[in-house]
A = this chain, B = another copy of it.
């Protein structure tokens, strides 16, 4: 694949096999990314200092810069990897599924499962969406647009299949809102798992969108 997991100073070898152990460099970078994700999640991108990241990852301040050239690029790497992964998993799950409603349910489940399994990364993705600038920003925005377009496609598929009539834009963005807002309230000690939350949200959203006839009172 074309992910630019290039090094800071020395060009790295790309990873030939999926399950390969990767280079020492790549493994170390991945570790740092995990710790950085946690810090960005807890203190926010602007609120987190490089010294916070240094402390959390157990590496010296200067040592971090061997793996990335700036704090902004670090956030970029986190967001890009997270977004790419969730889109990739979605595509795999949608393959071979024809029913329009089922496809939307898969979309919701995939999103929420990944969200709750990678809460810190997804919060950083959702909450720091405006933190990147210029090239970094447009790069992530491209993936976001693709993800958005997929969801639009799913909903348009449902509309065509059942002859429904509603604003795809509002529906899609409402659905994203329902799902993404979860990072502000989800408590693993109180709330159910991703599967049942996805089921409940899927019920609300799909019934709401399917019943497009005016209801009588």
Contact = CB atoms under 8 A, between A and B. Distances in A.
A184 B217 CA distance: 34
A184 B44 contact: no
Given A182-B177, A205-B208, A167 B47 contact: no
A163 to B, nearest CB: 15
Interface string A177-190: 11111101100000
Interface stretch (A21-29, A59-67, A76-84, A195-203): A195-203
Size class of the A contact interface (CB-based, 8 Å): 35 or more
Q: Determine the main DSSP class of A at the interface with B.
A: helix
Interface stretch (A10-18, A87-95, A134-142, A168-176): A168-176
22 contacts: A44-B46, A46-B46, A46-B47, A127-B127, A129-B184, A166-B203, A166-B204, A170-B197, A173-B181, A173-B185, A174-B201, A176-B181, A177-B178, A177-B179, A177-B182, A178-B178, A180-B181, A203-B208, A204-B205, A204-B209, A207-B208, A207-B215
Contacts of A169: 191
A181 to B, nearest CB: 3
A204 B127 CA distance: 25
A70 to B, nearest CB: 16
A181 B181 contact: yes
A50 interface: no
Interface string A114-134: 000000000000010111000
